Amino acid sequence: MMNAALAAVGLSGRYHLLPTPAEALAARLAEVRAEFAGVNVTVPHKRRIVPLLDELDPVAAAIGAANTIVNREGRLVGHNTDADGFYWALEREGLCSGEALVLGAGGAARAVVHALVTRGWLVGVYNRTLARAQSLVEEVGGWLVVPQKLEKAVRRTPLLVNATSVGLDDPQASPLPPGVLPDSGGVVDLVYRPLETRLLREARAAGLATQDGLAMLLGQGVRAFELWTGRPAPVAVMERALREGGS
Ligand code: NAP
């Protein structure tokens, strides 16, 4: 997606993988400071990178995680484009209802909840480990949905967002109890491997609107590209590259 975008706007840079174990993060950042315009940071480093950066933008600071770093003349500035990227995709696909239930309390859920509550949405948060959901609600916003209230909350919500990793690499796993889906509205799954998760399959069969994980992946990439290059992102080119299998 990024290499297709760079080529499309006539920039000669390249985007490539820098596999980095946790103990090598600081050394990697020194390399980034000297040689790169910017990098993305992904699982499991989005939170642990924060104290190693020179500066954080307000969104990354509020979420407590960064996925995009911009090298501003040797100062490494952390951004979180997952939040804006998620909302960009939601607006693009016409799924803005003002109310949502978010499943999960990891880095992706924190970005999603931040994106929604800062835009005035009412957001319920449910997570397998209650204490993590509690911290998310206290630090980012929304309200806690306890296990006994999950089924009712799912049925009533106009927008359900799966921000857990359930379904990742397992097309048969669902984050919801069997037979439980929203009565109407939409379902977003952030999982993008596979694209067709069980949750989305069942939601579509029930007549609900659906959005797959590539929509947010595209959105966060568009924002990151614009931060690094200062140019409008070639969205159609990036989307085509993503849907054709590269990222
Ligand atoms: P994370 O920080 O590791 O959080 C994982 C979340 O999934 C936690 O809430 C965890 O609950 C929950 N979970 C894991 N296994 C579970 C199970 N068997 N049953 C119930 N809950 C379970 O991961 P993350 O960075 O937030 O990513 C979450 C998902 O979003 C991943 O699939 C990732 O690929 C996807 N993602 C997509 C995009 C995109 O652009 N589309 C961007 C970011 C992330 P506990 O707290 O109880 O462990």
Provide the 8-state DSSP code for 97.
Answer: -
pLDDT for residue 169: 87
Catalytic residue among 28, 46, 79, 223: 46
CATH of the domain at 15: 3.40.50.10860
110 in the same domain as 40: no
Tokens (6 digits) for 78: 């952390």
97 in the same domain as 199: yes
222 in the same domain as 209: no
41 in the same domain as 6: yes
135 in the same domain as 42: no
The CA-atom distances, in angstroms, between 141 and each of 7, 115, 136, 144 are: 40, 10, 7, 9
Beta bridge partners of 39: 69
Q: How many CA atoms lie within 13 A of 124 on its CB side?
A: 19
Nearest CA to ligand 1 atom 36: 190
70 in the same domain as 50: yes
3-state secondary structure of 75: strand
Tell me the pTM.
Answer: 0.96
CATH of the domain at 166: 3.40.50.720
Q: Which residues, given as ranges, of the chain have pLDDT below 70?
A: 246-247
Task: Provide the domain count of the chain.
Answer: 2
Look at residues 86, 87, 76 and name the one whose alpha carbon lies nearest to residue 40: 76
Rounded CA-CA distance 191/164 in Å is 8
Q: Which atom of ligand 1 is nearest to the CA of 167?
A: 32
What's the N-to-C CA distance of the chain in angstroms? Answer: 5
92 in the same domain as 53: no
Domain that holds residue 51: 2-80+216-245
237 Cα to the center of ligand 1, angstroms: 28
Residues with CB under 6 A from ligand 1: 43, 82, 104-109, 127-129, 132, 163-166, 168, 175, 190-192, 213, 216-217, 220
54 in the same domain as 12: yes
Task: Kindly report the three-state secondary structure assignment for every residue of 107-149.
Answer: HHHHHHHHHHHCCCCEEEEECCCHHHHHHHHHHCCCEECCHHH
Provide the 8-state DSSP code for 15.
Answer: -
Q: Between vectors from CA 157 to CA 156 and to CA 162, what angle results, nearest 5°?
A: 130
Q: Is 189 within 8 Å of 197 (Cβ atoms)?
A: yes
173 Cα to the center of ligand 1, angstroms: 13
209 in the same domain as 88: yes
Q: Which atom of ligand 1 is nearest to the CA of 85?
A: 40
pLDDT for residue 43: 87
28 Cα to the center of ligand 1, angstroms: 25
110 in the same domain as 161: yes
User: Is 46 part of the annotated catalytic residue set?
Assistant: yes
110 in the same domain as 221: no
Beta bridge partners of 78: 56, 69
204 in the same domain as 103: yes
Look at residues 201, 211, 207, 143 and name the one whose alpha carbon lies nearest to residue 172: 201
pLDDT for residue 247: 44
